[in-house]
Structures are given as C-alpha cells and as structure tokens.
Amino acid sequence: MRARLSILYFLQFGVWGCYLTCFGQLLGAGGLGRDIAWFYATVGIVSIITPALMGHLADRCVKPVTLLAICHGVAAAAMTGAWIYVQRHPVLEFRVFFPLYLLFLAFYMPTMALANTVSFGILKSRGQRPVDAFPSIRVWGTVGFVAAMWFVNCAYWHDGVFGFAFSDLHPAGQFRFQFTSMQLLCAGIMGVMTALYALSLPHASLAAGEKNQGRFILLQGSLWRKFFGNSTVRIFLVFAALSGVCMQISNGFATPFISHFTGISEYVGSHASGNATMLFSLSQISEALCLLLVGGALKKYGIRTVFAVGGLAWGLRFLFFSGGNPSEGLWMLVASMLVYGIGFNFITIAGHLYMEQVSEKGTVGFGQGVMMLMSNGVGATAGTLVAGSIINHWCHWEMVEVGGGSGVMRLFMGEWQWPWLIFGIYALLMTMAWLLFFKKKRGVATSA
C-alpha cells in the first residue's frame, strides 16, 4: 500500500511539475508577460478558499478518494481547455485564459489536502502511523515533480515529429514543451491519469475526532484569538506571511530569467540557459534532501535559529541570481538552486511543525490552516504582485534572435540583476527583523 500511495503522489505532483516553473515563459510568449504575477498570486488566493470547501465535502458528502478523483478530472479538463485555447490563439487574451487557469487551480489545489486525507486514512486503517510512514511516501511527490520538469524541458513536437533536445542550437530547440503550450497538455494528461488511478485506491474515512479541523478558518473568531492572542505566535505568523513572498517569486520568474540568456550572444548554445526547467529542478532535489534536516535542526537549535537560517538562504538564493550567468557565473546559478532546499524547508516545513507544537488540543488542524493562509495565501499573493511590478520596471518581453540565427523567441530581457538584488536585500532585512522581534518567552516553546 505504501508503494501505491507513492505512485499517487508521483502522479499528482507530476501535474504541477509539467508547467509550474516554465509557465511564465509561455505567458510571456503569448503576450501576458506583464501579468505573470497575477497568475502566480492566484495560487495563494485559491489556496485560502477551495481546499477548505472540498474538505467539508469530503467530511459530509463524498468519500475522499472519490472527491480526489473528481477534482483531478475537472482540473485536467480545465487545463486541456487552456491548451486548446493557446493552440488556436497565439496571442492570449487575459479575460479568456485567466478564467480557464483559475478553474484549474480551484480544483487542483484542494487535491493536496485531499491526497493527505486519503493517505492518512488508508495508513491508519492498516494500523500504520502516518508520522512514520508518510515522509517516505510524500518524497515521491518531489520525484514526480522533478521527472515532469525534466520531460517538458527536453521533449519537443514540431512538424509532426516528436523528440528530445538539450540545446537551443537544436533545430527544434525553441519548440520544446517548456516554451510551448504542450506543457499544458502534459499537465492535462497527467491529471487524467491521476484521476483514474485515485479511483483504484481503497476507501478510508477519517475518524470522527479528526473531522472538521481547519475548516472555514476565516469564520472561527475564537480560534483566531487563541493564536493571535499569544504575542510570540502572533509575531511568528506575521513573519510567516513576510517569508511567503519568496517562494512564489522563485516559481514565477526564475525560469524566464534563466531563459533570457539565450537571447544574449555570448551565451548562445549554453546548456544552462537552454535547459532552464532542468536547471531549476535542482531546487526540488535540494528540497527533498534538506527535508531530512528539519526535525533534527528544530530539536537542537529551536525555531528562532532555524527560521533565521531559512531567511538567510532565501537572501543568498536571490543574491546568487543577481550575479549569476550561464558562463563564468554558472556556479552562482547552481548555488542558488541548492540553497533553495534550506530556504523552503527551514521556514515552511519548520513553520508547520512549530504551529503543531504551539496549538492546543483540538486546534492543530486550525493552526495548520492559519499557517497556510498566512504564508501561501496572504504573503505569497501580496508579495508576488509587488515583485511582478518591480521586475516589470526593469525587464520587458521582446522578440529576440536565438540559436545563432536559427529563429526568434519572445524572451524576458532587461536588467535582471536589480530585481534579484532587491529581493535578496528584502530577505536579509526580514531575517534581521525576525532575530530582533522574535524572542523566546516563558511558557511558549520555540523548538519542536
């Protein structure tokens, strides 16, 4: 059963891996480059609402496995519809394409929590503790994400021919899925596969005491006061929102940044710039490896130090980007990918563990929901919109000759070093403020 659940996560996160990190390049090519921030900010907005609603249905109306399959099926249909639209309209209209993507997110984002619900229920029904079995299952989600990234990075379809290419000098290099609407079709196909596979899993419901946790968090005022009434936890949640800015900046703009080097003559033929999605996948590999460090670090050093290390890692990631390039600065691009794992795990994962510790009995699910809302919702949404404005000030989309004259592509050209420098300074100032304001107080644990 662990193997079967591992396959579920491999497929589910494969859907996301097909497009998430290269989506910005497609939007730019279709004329929506200045709206990239809105598409990525929507992930946070949707995460506030639909997972709770679907969780309510899973508790009251529909079995979790069935609802998981339905959500993946509808999301796959929406993504396939988006692919059809892009195929027929080289120049995209925001008022048409954005609602299709919004529909996809509305049904895809709840599958994250639903898959956990299904897995926990199945494991418990077989006498296994999720805390022991789940990490080795969940890591296959990261493997699926990376595998999908590698596939869309290299695969191309041009003039009825399917193949793989690793360089922008290849005759079909600019037709690789990371640059075209085929990334959407891949996500749609993976979604259908996940929906069908979910239907093959056994049904297992949550125990009565585990239902209704973390639902409709915006309406539960008394529970809000339990967390925000504690000054230490309140400060932590504020900084959770401030740190949530960093992740979506990376997802939305790192790949267009790396790809823009293909339009600079001195980097023509560079394997790094021509394989931006594959290079970015080093971040996910780092994430999987660094996940193993979080528990031990929290026990030994506490949340104050661990969070600070995570903030420092985010600052280094952006500063490495500001000075990196596919030639003599390649090591900086690689280093930026490697420190991502520390930045993500030492803030996001450590934050969820901290919230579990400070939550009172019966409020653990709510605490996790608050953490998700503050970091992935409020922080990621507001931060992505502001970051998009900053990047659009220095960079712009234009048609550029690539591959030594073999063709032209729309790339996000400009003075990228300045936005990355600003984001790096922001992360470092946030870390300094965290160390200044977050203090260990009597009666409040700050380590897991």
- Picking from 181, 204, 227, the residue at the C-terminal end of a domain is 204
Share of the chain above pLDDT 70, in %: 85
pLDDT at residue 216 is higher than 80? no
CB 76 within 8 Å of CB 191: yes
pLDDT for position 448: 37
The Cα 343–Cα 163 span in angstroms is 36
98 confidence band (pLDDT: 50, 70, 90): very high
CB 8 within 8 Å of CB 138: no
pLDDT at residue 124 is higher than 70? yes
CB 162 within 8 Å of CB 260: no
pLDDT tens digit string along 20-44? Answer: 888 988 998 899 988 988 898 888 7
Q: What tokens does 330 get?
A: 């390649």
- Nearest-CA neighbor of 246 among 378, 344, 107? 344
- 129, 226: one domain: no
- Picking from 204, 237, 253, the residue at the C-terminal end of a domain is 204
Residue 160 located in a structural domain: yes
- 313, 170: one domain: no
pLDDT for position 126: 81
pLDDT for position 443: 39
On the 0-12 / 13-18 / 19+ scale of CB atoms within 10 A, 96 is exposed
- 246, 190: one domain: no
pLDDT for position 444: 41
- 238, 152: one domain: no
Residue 211 located in a structural domain: no
pLDDT tens digit string along 248-288? Answer: 788 788 889 998 998 888 887 777 887 888 888 899 889 88
pLDDT at residue 158 is higher than 90? no
Radius of gyration over every alpha carbon of the chain, rounded to an integer in angstroms: 21
- 268, 310: one domain: yes
Residue 94 located in a structural domain: yes
Average pLDDT for 117-122: 79
- Nearest-CA neighbor of 275 among 380, 394, 177? 177
165 confidence band (pLDDT: 50, 70, 90): confident
Supply the DSSP string of 107-139, one letter for each residue. Answer: HHTHHHHHHHHHHHHHHHHTT--HHHHHHHHHH
Residue 209 located in a structural domain: no
- 188, 230: one domain: no
Residue 223 located in a structural domain: yes
Query: Mean pLDDT in the chain?
Result: 83
pLDDT tens digit string along 50-94? Answer: 655 665 565 565 677 888 899 999 999 999 999 999 999 989 999
Query: ∠ CA 126-131-137 to the nearest 5 degrees?
Result: 75
Report DSSP state, residue 348. I
Residue 212 located in a structural domain: no
The Cα 172–Cα 307 span in angstroms is 44
pLDDT tens digit string along 223-249? Answer: 667 677 777 888 998 999 899 888 778
Residue 70 located in a structural domain: yes
Number of domains in the chain: 2
- 11, 143: one domain: yes
Q: Residue 316 maps to which CATH number?
A: 1.20.1250.20
- 294, 192: one domain: no
- 199, 236: one domain: no
The Cα 273–Cα 424 span in angstroms is 22
- 195, 225: one domain: no
- Picking from 172, 204, 236, the residue at the C-terminal end of a domain is 204
pLDDT tens digit string along 396-447? Answer: 989 888 765 557 888 899 999 999 999 999 999 999 999 999 976 533 444 4
Residue 168 located in a structural domain: yes
Q: How far is CA 172 from CA 87, 167, 241, 271, 408, in A?
A: 18, 9, 42, 15, 12
Domain region containing 174:
1-204
The Cα 421–Cα 89 span in angstroms is 36
- 316, 347: one domain: yes
- 223, 194: one domain: no
Average pLDDT for 115-128: 79
